Structure 1
Amino acid sequence: MFEDIADDILKKASSEGVPFAEVRFEYTNREFIQYVNGRIVSLSASSSRGAAIRVLINGNFGFSSITDLKKDSLEQALYQAIKAARAAGRGNKSLAEPPPVGKEYAFKDIRKHPSNVDIDEKIDLVKRAYAVAKEGGASTATSRYGAYYGVVEVYSTDGISVSSERLVTGISASVVLKENGKTGDGFETFGASAGLEYFEGEKSPEKAANRALEMARFAVKARRAPAGEQVVITRPELTGVFAHESFGHLTEGDGIFAKTSPLTGRLGEKIASEYVTIIDSGMDPRGGFALMVDDEGIPTEKTFLVREGILVGYLHSRESAALLNMRPTGNGRAQSFSHDVIVRMRNTFFEGGDWKEDEIIRETRHGLILDKPAGGQVEEDGTFTFNARIGFIIENGEIKEPVRDVVLAGNILEMLKYIDAVADNVEISTSPFGGCGKFGQMVHVGDGGPTLRATRLLVGGE
């Protein structure tokens, strides 16, 4: 779409003596519908169209962004980027060489792309979820639909010329139940890099509402978990929080270079039990956010971070890869054209093992099985405090009464050593309703994994 004008700008940069220049164009759309207690409270559609220009001069970057895509305006943005780089003086920054890349990356077999679906059909999705929630006894019910889609194009003086489609859609249902003077809440979100045909069958709005109701019914009956160090089993959605929030950030190349990560200089070390394999990938057939090419035009390879307990990889943009004399992994990402590229995760997850979930439960004498993350915080050294919304006590291999609002605390590098059972039920989830934040930028990601068991984890409760 923008190849000709990009070529003109890159030629202009070369004529100005710029060793490296890059132009990133974006044309993306966002849609959102929120339906609360029988009425639409939010309905929006917005577009983002603009370009980012990055130059590298004397070891420093210059960056500029613009919404006016006329040639003269883009040239002015180029001059601003050049001025910024030269004003910074001499530095030590560089870019790793790009691998061979394709020309165009697009989704195939999308039957109901959100750009081609009537608004009434999208409203119907949230109404259907709400109807089931109210029929199930919810005193308050909210349902949402969201979508993000469009194209990002990247062109550079060192040969990158890439067009990449972006797409993620989602629906969610949340409910509040009141029974016998007690209150319980529940929620469910289904999201994928897919068209609206995804929300059929097991991923329908009705299923989302029923799962939210089921969770709320358990919450009404649940008590606080027993406190102390315990055996803890995490189901896929909660497993994903550990993969992304507490471990994935530690492997990002900028933190490795700055030596703020406890994983700096530890490639090849055994940091986890032999049952632990953690991956960050641009795409996976089991779900998540499909990112075929990052925001530097680099294909998003499957990157092993931990393989059978051994730390084997970090995540890199072209800049961090050059700083550490490594290869870029396709993890250079930006929130939009108005943001510069930084190192970010894509889909970060634990790989599956040989167990079945019911086998792990059956082989657990005493402990907890937990699901549905509900916030928390993580420190730079991997120390975490996470909340699990719902779970169950396990006694002698059997699931007993439900527990709610369980607090988990520890350090991920300690927890990984105590994982002794990993199931084969890998699930990777994503959503258009939020994302991962870093340095003021928010990007869509996926996370997940299988059901797994840690033999020692500190639980806050009664």
Structure 2
Amino acid sequence: MHEDDVKLVLGKAGSLGVQFAEVRFEESTREIISYVNGRIASMSNQRLRGVGVRVLYNGNFGFASTFDLSRDGLLSALEEAFKAARALGPGNKRLAEVEASKRRYSIEGVKRHPARAELAEKLDLVKRAYETLKSGGASSAVVRYGAYYGRVEVYTSEGLEVSSERLVTGVSATAVLRENGRVGDGTETYGASKGLEAFTGDRAPEAIAEKALEVARAALNASRPPAGLQTVITRPELTGVFAHESFGHLTEGDGVFAGSSPLVGRLGEVLASEQVTIVDSGFDERGGYVLLADDEGVPTERTILVEKGVLKGYLHSRESAALTGMKPTGNGRAQSFAHDVIVRMRNTFFEAGDWTEEEIIRETRHGILLDKPAGGQVEEDGTFTFNARIGYIVENGELKQPVRDVVLAGNILEMLKYVDAAGKNVEISTSPFGGCGKWGQMVHVGDGGPTLRVSRLLVGGER
């Protein structure tokens, strides 16, 4: 789309003596509708169009961005990037080599793209979810529709020309129930790299709202769990938090190169039980966010991080791959054209095991089953504190009384040793509402996995 202007910029970059030059265009739209207690609280449609220019000169990178897509605007951004790199003086930064391919990636099977859908159709989604929440007795109901879509084009001085489509849509429903002085709340979100056709069947707005009501009803009668070391069963959505927040960040190549990750120098080492396989991928048929090429134009291959307990790999951008002597994995990502590329996850999840969820519960004598993550924090060494919104006590293979506001604490590298069962039911979630934050940048990601059982994990509750 911008080939003639790119040739001019890359030619000018060559005359400046740079080792490498990259031009990254983005044109995207972000839509949000918030529907609160039967009224439209807010509605936005934000469009973004601009370019980022990155150069490598004398061993250092320079980056600049602009909304001005004229030739003068592009050349000015190149000049600013070059000045930034030159001002840093000599350095040792470099990029791993990639194939100089020319490809255009599109997401297949989209039938009702949000760019072509009428506003009335989007409003209908939130109104239908609201009516279900209202009829289910919600005293307060919030429904959101969101979408992010567009295209990123990457051109480099090596001859790389890659165009990649971006798309994620979602509906979220939150219900608050009040009964006899007690309050219960529940939230359910479904997102996918699909058009509005995604919201049918068990993903229809009514079904999303009903799941939010189910959690809220359970929370009404739930109490705090007993505290102490327990057997903990995590359902897919909560499993994904451990995959992404606790473990995935430890595998990011910039942290590995800097020495801040506890996984440095441990490739081939047994870190977890044989039940544990963790993957990061740009695409998976079971769900999540579709990212077919990263923001450096590198195809997003399936990267195995842990295989049957053994650490197999890290996640890399072109820069971190070069610095560590490894291959790029398609994990160079940026929030927008105005941000430089850093190492980020895509879809990070535990792979399936051989158990059904019913078998895991049935074979658990005493423990707790947990669902619905509700925030938390993680340290650089993998130490975590996570909250689960709802769960159930497990006694002699049966689910008993509900529990709520459960705190889990531990270290992921210790926890993974105690995973003794993994289900077949892999679910991978994504959302247009927020994403993963790092160094001031937010990107859309997916996470998930199957139902897992951990035989030893610290639970915070009542003694």
| TM-score normalised by structure 1 residue count | 0.99
Summarize the alignment of residues 300-379 of structure 1 with structure 2, pairs less than 5 Å apart.
300-379=300-379
Kept in 1: contact 2:100–2:161 (CA 8 A): no
Judging changes above 3 Å, is the alpha-carbon distance between structure 1 residues 153 and 412 closer, same or farther for their aligned structure 2 residues? same
Deviation sequence 1:399-431 (CA, Å, 0-9, x none): 101000000000000000000000000000000
Q: Specify the alignment match of 1:394 in structure 2.
A: 394
Kept in 1: contact 2:28–2:151 (CA 8 A): yes
- Percent identity for Structure 1 against Structure 2: 70
Q: Specify the alignment match of 1:35 in structure 2.
A: 35
Q: What letter is aligned with 2:123?
A: I
Q: What letter is aligned with 1:225?
A: P
Q: What letter is aligned with 2:288?
A: G
Q: Specify the alignment match of 2:156 in structure 1.
A: 156
Report the Cα offset of residue 101 of structure 1: 3.7
Q: What letter is aligned with 1:289?
A: Y
Q: Specify the alignment match of 1:243 in structure 2.
A: 243
Q: What letter is aligned with 1:220?
A: L
Q: What letter is aligned with 2:421?
A: A
- Structure 1 Cα separation of the partners of residues 199 and 72 of structure 2: 45
Deviation sequence 1:268-294 (CA, Å, 0-9, x none): 000000110000000000000000000
Kept in 1: contact 2:99–2:160 (CA 8 A): no
Q: Specify the alignment match of 1:281 in structure 2.
A: 281
**1:190 aligns to 2:200 (yes or no):** no
- Structure 2 Cα separation of the partners of residues 256 and 99 of structure 1: 24
Q: Specify the alignment match of 2:443 in structure 1.
A: 443
Kept in 2: contact 1:374–1:389 (CA 8 A): yes
Q: Specify the alignment match of 2:454 in structure 1.
A: 454
Kept in 1: contact 2:100–2:158 (CA 8 A): no
SS in structure 1 opposite 2:51?
strand
State the 4+ residue runs in structure 1 displaced beyond 3 angstroms: 99-102
SS in structure 2 opposite 1:114?
coil
Q: Specify the alignment match of 1:113 in structure 2.
A: 113
- Structure 1 Cα separation of the partners of residues 188 and 354 of structure 2: 27
SS in structure 1 opposite 2:10?
helix
Report the Cα offset of residue 83 of structure 1: 0.8
Deviation sequence 1:77-131 (CA, Å, 0-9, x none): 1011111111100001000001354510001221100000000110110000000
Kept in 1: contact 2:18–2:58 (CA 8 A): no
Q: Specify the alignment match of 2:174 in structure 1.
A: 174
SS in structure 2 opposite 1:279?
strand
Deviation sequence 1:416-461 (CA, Å, 0-9, x none): 0000000000000000001000000000000000001000000000
Q: What letter is aligned with 2:370?
A: L
Q: What letter is aligned with 2:451?
A: T
Kept in 2: contact 1:101–1:298 (CA 8 A): no
Q: What letter is aligned with 1:122?
A: K
Count of aligned positions:
462
- Structure 2 Cα separation of the partners of residues 293 and 83 of structure 1: 29
Q: Specify the alignment match of 2:226 in structure 1.
A: 226
- Structure 1 Cα separation of the partners of residues 106 and 365 of structure 2: 49
- Structure 2 Cα separation of the partners of residues 95 and 309 of structure 1: 31
SS in structure 1 opposite 2:115?
helix
Kept in 1: contact 2:230–2:455 (CA 8 A): yes
Task: List gaps (5 residues or longer) in structure 2.
Answer: none
- Structure 2 Cα separation of the partners of residues 265 and 28 of structure 1: 39
Deviation sequence 1:316-349 (CA, Å, 0-9, x none): 0000000000000000000001100000000000
Q: What letter is aligned with 2:59?
A: G
Q: Specify the alignment match of 2:23 in structure 1.
A: 23
- Structure 1 Cα separation of the partners of residues 352 and 316 of structure 2: 24
Kept in 2: contact 1:278–1:304 (CA 8 A): yes
Kept in 2: contact 1:378–1:384 (CA 8 A): yes
- Structure 1 Cα separation of the partners of residues 345 and 242 of structure 2: 13
- Structure 2 Cα separation of the partners of residues 86 and 377 of structure 1: 38
Report the Cα offset of residue 8 of structure 1: 1.4
**1:203 aligns to 2:203 (yes or no):** yes
- Structure 1 Cα separation of the partners of residues 293 and 4 of structure 2: 21
SS in structure 2 opposite 1:115?
coil
Q: What letter is aligned with 1:222?
A: A
Deviation sequence 1:169-225 (CA, Å, 0-9, x none): 000100100111110000100100000000011101000110000000000010110
- Structure 2 Cα separation of the partners of residues 92 and 26 of structure 1: 29
Judging changes above 3 Å, is the alpha-carbon distance between structure 1 residues 85 and 230 closer, same or farther for their aligned structure 2 residues? same
Q: Specify the alignment match of 1:48 in structure 2.
A: 48
- Structure 1 Cα separation of the partners of residues 272 and 422 of structure 2: 13
Kept in 1: contact 2:101–2:159 (CA 8 A): no
Q: What letter is aligned with 1:9?
A: V
Kept in 2: contact 1:101–1:299 (CA 8 A): no
- Structure 1 Cα separation of the partners of residues 8 and 204 of structure 2: 47
Q: What letter is aligned with 1:105?
A: Y
Q: Specify the alignment match of 2:434 in structure 1.
A: 434
- Structure 2 Cα separation of the partners of residues 367 and 346 of structure 1: 32
Report the Cα offset of residue 5 of structure 1: 1.2
Q: Specify the alignment match of 1:73 in structure 2.
A: 73
Q: What letter is aligned with 2:165?
A: E
| TM-score normalised by structure 2 residue count | 0.99
Judging changes above 3 Å, is the alpha-carbon distance between structure 1 residues 68 and 372 closer, same or farther for their aligned structure 2 residues? same
Q: What letter is aligned with 1:389?
A: R
Kept in 1: contact 2:107–2:290 (CA 8 A): no
- Structure 2 Cα separation of the partners of residues 191 and 76 of structure 1: 39
